[in-house]
Amino acid sequence: MTEFIQHTINGLSLGSIYALVALGYTMVFGVLQLINFAHGEVFMAGAFFGYYMSRFFGLDEHPSFW
């Protein structure tokens, strides 16, 4: 049962991240009528920052990837 709860929380977390990225694309495209692909670059910079901070503070490296 605890594994199901953990998978549910992980799914909601990942889904909310995808929703925020999609919302950013939608808002920029709605205003400018132009697709701005810089969102992906900022998303990856945040992922790398999270990974390096988790390593800096001595946390396990795997939670930063899921």
User: HEC states along the chain?
Assistant: CHHHHHHHHHHHHHHHHHHHHHHHHHHHHHHHCCCCCHHHHHHHHHHHHHHHHHHHCCCCCHHHCC
Q: Is the pTM of this model over 0.75?
A: no
pLDDT string in tens for the chain (66-residue length): 889 999 999 899 889 988 988 898 888 888 888 888 787 888 889 888 988 888 888 877 666 555
